[in-house]
Amino acid sequence: MISRIWHGWTKPENADAYEALLKSEIFVGIKERNIDGYRGIQLFRRNIEKEVEFITVMWFDSLDAVRDFAGEDYEAAVVPPKARQLLSRFDERSQHYEVKAEMKA
Protein backbone atom coordinates (compact mmCIF):
# COMPACT_ATOMS: atom_id res chain seq x y z
CA MET A 1 0.00 0.00 0.00
CA ILE A 2 1.24 3.48 -0.92
CA SER A 3 0.19 6.70 0.80
CA ARG A 4 0.41 9.95 -1.21
CA ILE A 5 0.55 13.06 0.99
CA TRP A 6 0.14 16.64 -0.19
CA HIS A 7 -0.23 20.04 1.55
CA GLY A 8 -2.00 23.20 0.42
CA TRP A 9 -2.79 26.49 2.17
CA THR A 10 -5.56 29.04 1.72
CA LYS A 11 -6.44 32.38 3.19
CA PRO A 12 -9.15 31.94 5.86
CA GLU A 13 -11.75 33.58 3.63
CA ASN A 14 -11.13 30.93 0.91
CA ALA A 15 -11.00 27.87 3.16
CA ASP A 16 -14.68 26.89 3.10
CA ALA A 17 -14.89 27.34 -0.68
CA TYR A 18 -11.76 25.25 -1.18
CA GLU A 19 -13.04 22.47 1.07
CA ALA A 20 -16.39 22.46 -0.75
CA LEU A 21 -14.62 22.29 -4.14
CA LEU A 22 -12.58 19.30 -2.98
CA LYS A 23 -15.58 17.40 -1.67
CA SER A 24 -18.08 18.20 -4.42
CA GLU A 25 -15.92 18.19 -7.56
CA ILE A 26 -12.29 17.16 -7.21
CA PHE A 27 -12.70 14.06 -5.03
CA VAL A 28 -15.74 12.95 -7.04
CA GLY A 29 -13.78 13.41 -10.28
CA ILE A 30 -10.93 11.29 -8.96
CA LYS A 31 -13.34 8.52 -7.96
CA GLU A 32 -15.06 8.64 -11.35
CA ARG A 33 -11.75 8.00 -13.10
CA ASN A 34 -11.97 4.41 -11.79
CA ILE A 35 -8.20 4.12 -11.41
CA ASP A 36 -7.23 0.50 -10.81
CA GLY A 37 -5.52 0.39 -7.42
CA TYR A 38 -6.92 3.68 -6.08
CA ARG A 39 -8.30 3.05 -2.59
CA GLY A 40 -9.54 6.43 -1.41
CA ILE A 41 -8.64 9.84 -0.04
CA GLN A 42 -8.72 11.63 3.30
CA LEU A 43 -8.84 15.37 3.93
CA PHE A 44 -7.37 17.12 6.96
CA ARG A 45 -7.82 20.80 7.80
CA ARG A 46 -6.39 23.10 10.48
CA ASN A 47 -6.28 26.82 11.15
CA ILE A 48 -2.76 28.19 11.60
CA GLU A 49 -2.27 31.88 12.30
CA LYS A 50 -3.21 33.69 9.07
CA GLU A 51 -3.72 30.59 6.91
CA VAL A 52 -5.71 27.40 6.74
CA GLU A 53 -3.70 24.27 5.98
CA PHE A 54 -5.16 21.33 4.09
CA ILE A 55 -3.56 17.92 3.80
CA THR A 56 -4.77 15.20 1.48
CA VAL A 57 -3.78 11.59 1.99
CA MET A 58 -4.51 9.28 -0.91
CA TRP A 59 -4.24 5.51 -0.80
CA PHE A 60 -3.05 3.32 -3.67
CA ASP A 61 -2.12 -0.33 -4.06
CA SER A 62 1.16 0.48 -5.84
CA LEU A 63 3.30 3.18 -7.44
CA ASP A 64 1.91 2.04 -10.80
CA ALA A 65 -1.56 3.04 -9.57
CA VAL A 66 -0.13 6.40 -8.45
CA ARG A 67 1.31 6.86 -11.95
CA ASP A 68 -2.12 6.11 -13.43
CA PHE A 69 -3.44 8.97 -11.30
CA ALA A 70 -0.64 11.53 -11.60
CA GLY A 71 1.33 10.58 -14.70
CA GLU A 72 4.89 9.41 -15.22
CA ASP A 73 6.26 12.20 -13.01
CA TYR A 74 4.08 10.82 -10.23
CA GLU A 75 5.48 13.08 -7.50
CA ALA A 76 4.22 16.21 -9.30
CA ALA A 77 1.25 17.81 -7.59
CA VAL A 78 -2.11 17.40 -9.32
CA VAL A 79 -3.89 20.71 -8.68
CA PRO A 80 -6.77 21.67 -11.00
CA PRO A 81 -7.13 25.33 -12.09
CA LYS A 82 -10.20 25.97 -9.87
CA ALA A 83 -8.21 24.82 -6.84
CA ARG A 84 -5.20 26.95 -7.76
CA GLN A 85 -7.44 30.03 -7.72
CA LEU A 86 -8.33 29.39 -4.06
CA LEU A 87 -4.93 28.31 -2.77
CA SER A 88 -2.33 30.75 -1.46
CA ARG A 89 0.45 28.19 -1.90
CA PHE A 90 0.90 24.45 -2.16
CA ASP A 91 3.44 21.66 -2.37
CA GLU A 92 4.69 21.36 -5.94
CA ARG A 93 5.64 17.74 -5.18
CA SER A 94 3.71 15.08 -3.27
CA GLN A 95 5.37 12.68 -0.88
CA HIS A 96 4.88 8.93 -1.17
CA TYR A 97 5.29 6.42 1.61
CA GLU A 98 5.07 2.67 1.70
CA VAL A 99 2.60 1.70 4.42
CA LYS A 100 4.37 -0.84 6.62
CA ALA A 101 1.83 -1.34 9.40
CA GLU A 102 -1.76 -0.51 10.26
CA MET A 103 -3.75 -1.22 13.40
CA LYS A 104 -7.44 -0.49 13.64
CA ALA A 105 -9.38 -0.37 16.89
* Residue 10 covered by a domain: yes
pLDDT for 48 equals: 95
List, in sequence order, every residue forming a beta bridge with 97; answer none if it has no partner. Answer: 3
Q: In this predicted model, what pLDDT tens digit does every residue of 51-103 receive, in sequence order?
A: 999 999 999 999 999 999 999 999 999 999 999 999 999 999 999 999 999 89
* Residue 99 covered by a domain: no
Task: Name the domain count of the chain.
Answer: 1
CATH number reported for the structural domain that contains residue 24 in this entry: 3.30.70.100
CA–CA separation, 12 vs 15, rounded Å? 5
What range does the domain containing 13 cover? 2-94
pLDDT for 24 equals: 97
Q: What's this model's pTM, rounded to 2 decimal places?
A: 0.93
